[in-house]
Structure 1
């Protein structure tokens, strides 16, 4: 009589989950710029407080101002170190302004965008135009504008960090930049800090909502979109810009 042996086969180990995991939405690249003394730093600190964003620290060859911290406000380097990195194409953008070099290192920015983190650049106007040329509509350019050139002069003079000659150079540059504000997607006038911060937050939320179908927008998204629309550069006429530089 034949005996049949029963062999127990262990359950196969579960294979990898065939369901593809959704990739995080790419982060926003928000570029703020404007004339020196317009208050970009103060606006940026208030706007980004409590947010999990990547703030890119620019490299510069200028001397640190009182209270500025190396690696926080800027990475302060020698001209030799800066130019060596530029030759290696290590900057997303770089520019020379009033005798000093400024540049944005590219590697940490791309890494943050890929993991879905918003990135904020605070750079000179020339650098912002380079980013726009390189990345097109992915770069959300925001121009911070003073209420008037007279007010900008007052702020620069009150800062007491520049010679009169250098202040005049900055004002001349500011006149030209203001008249080209239509090159930017948004223009925020920094005459009231609370209102300007609210407009920056609206721009960020509205641009984030645009990554999703409109049917998925919340009422807050729609309200942000309405406010952001009011600070589109197209809402300003050439006469509006001329009034700023002549006042």
Structure 2
């Protein structure tokens, strides 16, 4: 079922909804489910220097650029956050996100803890941080192998990095264990809905309450 905002919803400022997890713990699956279910949520499209994977479309999944172009964006302060992951650079373009927040749009970020820290430092009040944990390291290893896309050396590297990423769990507002994808998805939806309702984000509340208290003014 598609989730959409009420026609009578008050004006509000948008939010930056971050999903992080070790590779294989399910954040990309949950992100895809959120985007399919919630028409008021849009994916923040990152720039990256890594080559496209089969099926990835430039401008839809990532903006694929070369390293000199990426470093120019860093030097010109055009990125909200950036990091080097597995030898490639990733970053979030700033201009479109800033404008969207003012217009009340919500952005979904599928990024690691380094990017999360940077976003939080720049836009603390707009950020909601959700970390997804696997049910066990054994299950995480099984999921990585079942992809059939990486060599054993790459999988070993991802497992080592996973334990480092898990150590940053306490830098997030919410932590959800993904032992069942549907249950995990439901919990993440509940977090998103409640964060949209925060008083500080509902910029239309002041005028709305003023009219209730002084209907003849």
TM-score range, shorter chain: 0.7 to 0.9
TM-score (norm 1): 0.72
For residues 48 and 59 of structure 1, what CA distance do their matches in structure 2 show? 19
* 8 Å Cα contact 1:65-1:161 kept in structure 2: no
The answer on whether the counterparts of 1:58 and 1:123 sit within 8 Å (CA) in structure 2 is: no
Match of 2:110 in 1: 122
TM-score (norm 2): 0.82
The SS at the match of 1:121 is strand
Q: Does 1:37 pair with 2:24?
A: yes
Q: Larger Rg: 1 or 2?
A: 1
Aligned to 2:11: 24
Within a 5 Å distance, the mapping from 1:158-177 to structure 2 comes to: 158-177=146-165
Determine the C-alpha separation between the residues in 2 that align with 1:35 and 1:169: 12
CA contact (8 A) 1:55 1:121 kept: yes
Counterpart for residue 107 of structure 1: 95
Q: What are the equivalent positions in structure 2 for 1:139-150 lying under 5 Å apart?
A: 139-150=127-138
2:189 corresponds to: 201
When residues 116 and 161 of structure 1 are mapped into structure 2, their CA distance, relative to the original with a 3 A threshold, is: same
For structure 2, which runs of at least 5 residues remain unmatched after alignment? 1-9, 202-217
Equivalent-residue separation in structure 2 for 1:78 and 1:160 (angstroms): 27
Structure 1 stretches of 5 or more lacking a match?
A: 1-22, 214-247
Q: How many pairs does the alignment contain?
A: 191
Residue 95 of structure 1 corresponds to which residue in structure 2? 83
Choose between structure 1 and 2 for higher RCO, CA contacts under 8 A separated by at least 6 residues: 2
**C-alpha distance after superposition, 1:24-73 (max 9, x if no partner):** 31012111111122222211121232422231111111122222222111
Partner of 2:59: 71
- In 2, are the aligned partners of 1:54 and 1:112 still within 8 Å (CA)? no
- How large is the RMSD of aligned CA atoms in angstroms? 1.8
Q: Distance in 1 between matches of 2:190 and 2:125?
A: 18
Question: Is contact 2:35-2:42 (8 Å) kept?
Answer: no
Q: Does 1:80 align with 2:68?
A: yes
CA offsets, 1:192-246, max 9 Å, x none?
Answer: 1111111111001111122269xxxxxxxxxxxxxxxxxxxxxxxxxxxxxxxxx
Say which of 24, 30, 45 aligns to 1:57: 45
Specify the SS of the correspondent of 1:195. Answer: helix
